[in-house]
A and B are shown apart, each in its own frame.
Chain A
Amino acid sequence: MADRLLFSKTGRARYISHLDLMRTFQRAFARAGIAIKHTEGFNPHPFVSIALPLSVGYSSQCEILEFSLLEGTLAEEVPARLTAAMPEGIVIHQCYEARRKLKELRYINYIMNLEYSEGRPQESEPAMAELLGRESLTVKKKSNKAKAGFTEVDLIPLIRSWRIECQSDTMTLDAVLAAQNPGLNPELLRTVFCQTYPQFTPEFVTFHRREVLDGEGEPFR
């Protein structure tokens, strides 16, 4: 089976897109002098694959990259050497042999921060709680496959758990959302919230991935 990296992507690196990040890793392995397996065929290149692409602008402390380490480098050396070859904001925490399949990665814990620089409206918290507490929350979602150009999705079954924490100028939503097949991008929660309660539209929202979880809610590695 393949090898995996656990890494974080924060600060200025948040703006690196998924494709650009793959390229960055391919080059960083070469810069660090870490030999990894290349693809075969007409245009051979270092093979890397990042599980669950992160939207541009989101930060994360739990990204997973798959690759195959070739002989010559010990796994425990990889984090430090690779981090040194990375642009600012990407830090590799672990390098290990994959022991379980990626499809066992079921949930992602997101921290969503809604900012109100003029002060948070008191009613925004019960509003969010009301929304997430509904029996079902069906929204239209853009789709390239569906004929109509969109499909209808119920968000509630895709939310495993949530917790709201408020301060005078922020509301933080700590939510565990389905990761894949289908997954739920927290951006959709923001959109629904702003559509349902336009009077509580925040000025700015940040998104952060805190942990990836398996079906039991334990960290997935």
Chain B
Amino acid sequence: MNRTLEYILQRVQKPARYTGGEYNEVVKERQTVTTRFALCFPDTYEIGMSNLGCRILYGVMNQRPDVWCERCFAPWGDMEEELRQAGLQLYALESGDPIADFDIIGFSLGYEMAYSNVLNMLDLAGLPLHSEDRIELTPLVVAGGTCCYNPEPLAPFIDLFVLGEGEEVTLEYIDLYQQAVEEGWSKREFLLEAAKIKGIYVPSLYEPVYRPDGTLEEIKVSEGAPQTVTKRIVQNMDQAYFPVKTIIPSTEIVHDRVMLELFRGCIRGCRFCQAGYVYRPVRSRSPELLAQYGKAACEDSGYQEMTLSSLSSTDYPCLMQLCDELLDYCAPRDIGLSLPSLRADTFSMGLMERLQRVRKGGLTFAPEAGTQRLRDAINKNLREEDLLQSVRTAFSGGWNGVKLYFMLGLPTETDEDVLGIADLARKVYFAWRECTPNRARGVRITVSTSWFVPKPHTAFQWEPQIPMEEYQRRVDLLRDALKRDKSITYNWHDPHTSYLEAIFSRGDRRLASVLEYAWQNGAKMDAWNEYFDYQRWMDALEACGLSGDFYACRERRPDEVFPWARLSVGVSTEFLWREREQCYNSQTTPDCRTRCSGCGANQLLTGGGRCG
């Protein structure tokens, strides 16, 4: 380890985040590899190391003997200051080498509030921020992750974006990159070829044309680039790479446990949910394979906890069978099994008994809306009776707390819907009184509301976000309604971050200058209260002559050209529009197993295409 770095590490908080050297870290000889990849996560080590996608890509790339993928995270403020003062460049954890010397720098973009960290990390690496100012092919700067379904605010900074699941396409563009290096291609030559790979969006080959009112006229396509870029998916989950052997951090991270990915996609079709649309179609892993992976991952990691991960785990067809098989292994070893993403209508006695076997975790349900009408309008398809039945089951089984998540500001929401949240929480309270075996212990019911952010590629992509004052009014309304209930705690989400998310998630390329301006004025780590400064972003918007409300609070025309118009997740716009109309009629759409609604995503599947 570098002496300067050693000196620095004595002075920063949690230095283990910056050292590497963890169990299962992959170290290769520099001379034996042809391509070095810096997998960058634009947030802290604790957050980034918890990301399943990164664990997968790290494994997929390092399986190749000619590629060495290393990790890099955003340093916390104290470390950043020390690095800058000492003149040290941002380095990768495995080798300690500066990432600027790597072949490819890849960012994982999961949420908009990490964008400022992307710029900050490029700067800490000593690289020009703009793609056009990085003349050479090397280092190539790429990005993937959920935000790439509308990456326009980052378009000037990134050489290419990867749409969808990265297991296969990552290796394809690495192959092309290796060919380009060998044959001495220019960066432009490489990007033109890369654009021909399915799932790769090269933003410099697309030019947005704006109308005087600021909306898009069209997005021009350079010759040779595809008209539409469609996301990539893994066809068969049973053949997909599963990270059995993963890095076990030596310091505590956010999700410090085995993550067993049951399936991708979701059958439910909640109209607000971006994940529900962009991860279609549904593809499951077989329970036999999952049980095998789960046990192997426990054995390799020594973790004392396993979580089953998916968008809605109770929709996994063989859940009970899988739980039983895993518990036979886990219970004697005191390995706890946890299941986030539980639908409130599918929580059964059988499942509850299984979850309690080793240690009992918290219980969280997300009804999202307070009344049946609004739940129907957003297609949550959850009936009040079912929710109450589930909490009765849980309370009888000894749980004495439940968290309930809701959103405020959903399309068509009225005050009646807002007050419905309070009613529902009270009914949950009465269910506890009725069922608990021990009233003396008391109960903690937590109601949390967030401010609805309309997202691209959803049925609500045309919707305005309600104004901030209106959100605050609805928060106050609900707070008043709940203030006498001592057993119910109400938390609400800070509106400022949600407003910025609404701006950036449906933002266009002009927002890149806002991002750059905000970063120049100190924006970084915006997902953290310690660093987030709302006024800084408002100033940046103003300095760039842009209005936040134009992006957040404007209802889009039916024929609006969206900034993501050239990007497809396989779900047709007609389907999304139909879903939006269904919302206004308070009509539900059945889940994908009950009846196919023809969203189009099954066409992403080769050979007949049946979702499963």
Chain A positions near chain B (C-beta within 8 angstroms): 11-13, 15-17, 19-21, 23-24, 26-31, 33, 38, 42-46, 56-57, 85-89, 203-204
The answer to whether B334 touches A85, judged by C-beta atoms less than 8 angstroms apart, is no
A91 CB to closest chain B CB (Å) equals 13
6 contacts between A and B (CB under 8 A): A12-B21, A13-B250, A15-B9, A15-B18, A17-B251, A57-B9
**Which residue of chain A lies nearest to B359 when distances are taken between CB atoms in the complex?**
A43
The answer to whether A26 touches B359, judged by C-beta atoms less than 8 angstroms apart, is no
**Which residue of chain A lies nearest to B7 when distances are taken between CB atoms in the complex?**
A204
The answer to whether B303 touches A27, judged by C-beta atoms less than 8 angstroms apart, is yes
Main secondary structure on B side of the interface with A: loop
B275 CB to closest chain A CB (Å) equals 31
* The residue from B1, B19, B299, B334 contacting A44, defined by CB atoms under 8 A apart: B334
For window 302-353 of B, CB contacts with A under 8 Å fall at 302-304, 333-334
Q: Check B216 for interface membership: any CB of A closer than 8 A.
A: no
Complex CA–CA separation, A93 to B344 (angstroms): 52
Whether A12 contacts B251 in the complex (CB less than 8 A), given A30-B333, A57-B15, A204-B7, comes out as no
The answer to whether A89 touches B21, judged by C-beta atoms less than 8 angstroms apart, is yes
A198 CB to closest chain B CB (Å) equals 19
Whether A88 contacts B302 in the complex (CB less than 8 A), given A15-B9, A24-B250, A57-B9, comes out as no
Whether A29 contacts B302 in the complex (CB less than 8 A), given A13-B250, A23-B252, A57-B15, comes out as yes
- Residues of A within 8 Å of B22, CB to CB, are 87-88
* The residue from A19, A23, A87 contacting B21, defined by CB atoms under 8 A apart: A87
A40 CB to closest chain B CB (Å) equals 10
**Which residue of chain B lies nearest to A25 when distances are taken between CB atoms in the complex?**
B302
Complex CA–CA separation, A17 to B14 (angstroms): 8
The answer to whether A85 touches B9, judged by C-beta atoms less than 8 angstroms apart, is no
Which of B16, B25, B250, B304 gathers the greatest number of chain A CB atoms within 10 Å?
B250
Main secondary structure on A side of the interface with B: mixed
- Residues of A within 8 Å of B14, CB to CB, are 17
Whether A20 contacts B302 in the complex (CB less than 8 A), given A15-B19, A43-B359, comes out as no
- Residues of A within 8 Å of B430, CB to CB, are none
Complex CA–CA separation, A87 to B333 (angstroms): 22
**Which residue of chain B lies nearest to A58 when distances are taken between CB atoms in the complex?**
B10
The answer to whether A38 touches B334, judged by C-beta atoms less than 8 angstroms apart, is yes
The answer to whether A26 touches B302, judged by C-beta atoms less than 8 angstroms apart, is yes
Complex CA–CA separation, A42 to B301 (angstroms): 23
Complex CA–CA separation, A86 to B303 (angstroms): 13
**Which residue of chain B lies nearest to A84 when distances are taken between CB atoms in the complex?**
B23
The answer to whether A16 touches B251, judged by C-beta atoms less than 8 angstroms apart, is yes
The answer to whether A13 touches B9, judged by C-beta atoms less than 8 angstroms apart, is no
**Which residue of chain B lies nearest to A90 when distances are taken between CB atoms in the complex?**
B250
- Residues of B within 8 Å of A19, CB to CB, are 252
Complex CA–CA separation, A88 to B25 (angstroms): 9
For window 526-553 of B, CB contacts with A under 8 Å fall at none
The answer to whether B252 touches A86, judged by C-beta atoms less than 8 angstroms apart, is no
Whether A15 contacts B252 in the complex (CB less than 8 A), given A87-B21, A88-B21, comes out as no
- Residues of A within 8 Å of B19, CB to CB, are 12, 15
The answer to whether B10 touches A11, judged by C-beta atoms less than 8 angstroms apart, is no
**Which residue of chain A lies nearest to B256 when distances are taken between CB atoms in the complex?**
A23
* The residue from B6, B21, B300, B359 contacting A42, defined by CB atoms under 8 A apart: B359
**Which residue of chain B lies nearest to A12 when distances are taken between CB atoms in the complex?**
B21
The answer to whether B359 touches A87, judged by C-beta atoms less than 8 angstroms apart, is no
The answer to whether A87 touches B334, judged by C-beta atoms less than 8 angstroms apart, is no
Q: Check B56 for interface membership: any CB of A closer than 8 A.
A: no
Whether A57 contacts B10 in the complex (CB less than 8 A), given A31-B301, A85-B23, comes out as yes
Complex CA–CA separation, A158 to B19 (angstroms): 34
* The residue from A20, A38, A43, A87 contacting B23, defined by CB atoms under 8 A apart: A87
The answer to whether A28 touches B9, judged by C-beta atoms less than 8 angstroms apart, is no
Complex CA–CA separation, A45 to B248 (angstroms): 18
Whether A20 contacts B359 in the complex (CB less than 8 A), given A31-B299, A57-B15, A89-B21, comes out as no
Whether A20 contacts B334 in the complex (CB less than 8 A), given A29-B302, A31-B302, A88-B21, comes out as no
Whether A85 contacts B302 in the complex (CB less than 8 A), given A12-B1, A16-B16, comes out as yes
* The residue from B7, B250, B303, B333 contacting A20, defined by CB atoms under 8 A apart: B250
- Residues of A within 8 Å of B334, CB to CB, are 38, 44-46
The answer to whether B16 touches A45, judged by C-beta atoms less than 8 angstroms apart, is no
The answer to whether B359 touches A16, judged by C-beta atoms less than 8 angstroms apart, is no
Q: Check B495 for interface membership: any CB of A closer than 8 A.
A: no
Complex CA–CA separation, A190 to B252 (angstroms): 30
* The residue from A27, A44, A89 contacting B302, defined by CB atoms under 8 A apart: A27
- Residues of B within 8 Å of A89, CB to CB, are 21
- Residues of A within 8 Å of B6, CB to CB, are 204
The answer to whether B15 touches A15, judged by C-beta atoms less than 8 angstroms apart, is yes
**Which residue of chain B lies nearest to A38 when distances are taken between CB atoms in the complex?**
B334
